[in-house]
Amino acid sequence: MAAENTFDDKAATWDQNPGHQQSTSIAAEALKGSGLLHPGSTAVLDLGCGTGLLAEKIADSLGALVGVDTSPGMIAAFQRKAEARGDGKLRCVLAELTGPESLTSSTPADGGAAVPEQYDLAISLMTFHHIQDIAGTLRLLKHHLKPGGSVAIFDLLATPASIRFHSPAHSHGLFHRGGFSLQEMEQHLTEAGYTAVEARAVGSLQKAAFDGEGEMLEFQLFMATATAG
């Protein structure tokens, strides 16, 4: 995740952004159709959870979900949603995964007991292009998966247009401005020790190019799944 907490000022209006709504809907539908979610049982770790927009959409299809993010503003918004649901399914933690103990040693936003260490599924939506150490992050996610657990990563698919998704001056810890090719993400997962690796395009969203004075472009998203050994 990004080390800078510069998403705070966007938290209040994050959910109203059409691009965020589109990407979240794509990921939610792909997850629901993947066979990775089981109502009442699947324990999910959501890396870069933001305001909980994706967590809300899939909450009824799983057992419990813990969101983790480095932005206090995003976590505060997530916690409000968790409290509004009132069923205890959604919890969140303000933390950056820098080591095996980062998650469980951080105080949850609800002030309750520490969150679990291991999960059936780890998910991440539009977060990995903000991560510098891809290999290290994938290994940490693997640590937090139960044996045979899965990971599902959604991010920007590298295309001729994708370099226009973010400005070079983007301040949110941007390390992979044009996204990833399917082969690149599959290689990252394989090198991190995952098996049954597969990446595919799952949908597209409309967004104004940063350099086009309002020109709307189509940007593609991919879903990369893999299993922890």
CB 81 within 8 A of CB 55: yes
Give the Cα separation of 157 and 183 in Å (integer).
Answer: 10
> What pLDDT is attached to residue 88?
94
Residue 123, SS3? strand
Give the model confidence (pLDDT) of 66-86 as tens digits.
999 999 999 999 999 999 999
Give the Cα separation of 97 and 228 in Å (integer).
Answer: 18
Q: Which amino acid is at 7?
A: F
- The residue count of the chain comes to 229
What average pLDDT does this structure show over 113-119? 97
Give the model confidence (pLDDT) of 131-177 as tens digits.
989 999 999 999 999 999 999 999 999 887 766 666 665 545 555 55
> What pLDDT is attached to residue 175?
55
Give the Cα separation of 103 and 116 in Å (integer).
Answer: 8
Mean pLDDT of the chain: 89
What tokens appear for 176 in the block? 């992979």
Give the model confidence (pLDDT) of 188-199 as tens digits.
999 999 999 999
> What pLDDT is attached to residue 188?
97
What average pLDDT does this structure show over 17-39? 95
Does the CA dihedral 93-51-45-176 come out positive or negative? negative
- 8-228 folds as Rossmann fold (3.40.50)
Query: Please, is 216 exposed, middle or buried when counting C-beta atoms within 10 Å of its C-beta (0-12, 13-18, 19+)?
Result: exposed
- Of 70, 116, 61, 68, which is closest to residue 92 (Cα–Cα)? 68
Give the model confidence (pLDDT) of 51-64 as tens digits.
999 999 999 999 99
